[in-house]
Amino acid sequence: MKEIARYSGCFVCGDRNEIGLKARFYFDADRGRAVSDITADELYAGYKNIFHGGITSTLLDEIMIKSLLAEDIFVVTAEMTVKFKKPVYSGDRLHFEGWKTGHKGPLYLTEGKAVNQNGETVAEASGKYIRPAADLTAKLRGSVE
């Protein structure tokens, strides 16, 4: 699997962001999916020993965007829906997957999910992403390494 491009200052994938998640994302070309594995850190808790749902949502947004970025499609989030299925506890090992489900012109549709170490789906998401105008796309392209 090939690692997907990132911006070193990104909260989610940046390796130089001191308060960030430092998640790494890979593209499974055989399945057409972006994948990432993280451990739920207490540093990102919403309640004691419970991983914040906003961080789970952030990771789902990123995995869906990365599924497009892996195909050199630069987009910004237009809309996202998350369904939480089970709580995530500090120390849980999470596997994220994201994939493209279609597109019409500049609009791209995606889905994603997060699965815990027991194989249970803890959250699912769908997203709509827009390819921005050329000037913003150039800025996005210039920020990845």
**What is the token pair recorded at 63?**
């995995």
Give the rounded distance of the alpha carbon of 121 from its chain centre: 15
DSSP, res 43 = G
If one compares 140 and 99, the residue with the highest pLDDT of the two is 99
Q: Which segments of 48-143 are extended strands (E)?
A: 50-51, 76-84, 93-104, 107-116, 121-130
Mean pLDDT over all residues of the chain?
A: 96
pLDDT in tens, 29-77: 999 999 999 999 999 999 999 999 999 999 999 999 999 999 999 999 9
Task: Fold for 2-143, please state it.
Answer: Thiol Ester Dehydrase; Chain A (3.10.129)
**pLDDT reported for residue 145:** 80
- Domain residue limits, the chain: 2-143
Look-up of token digits 């990104």: 10
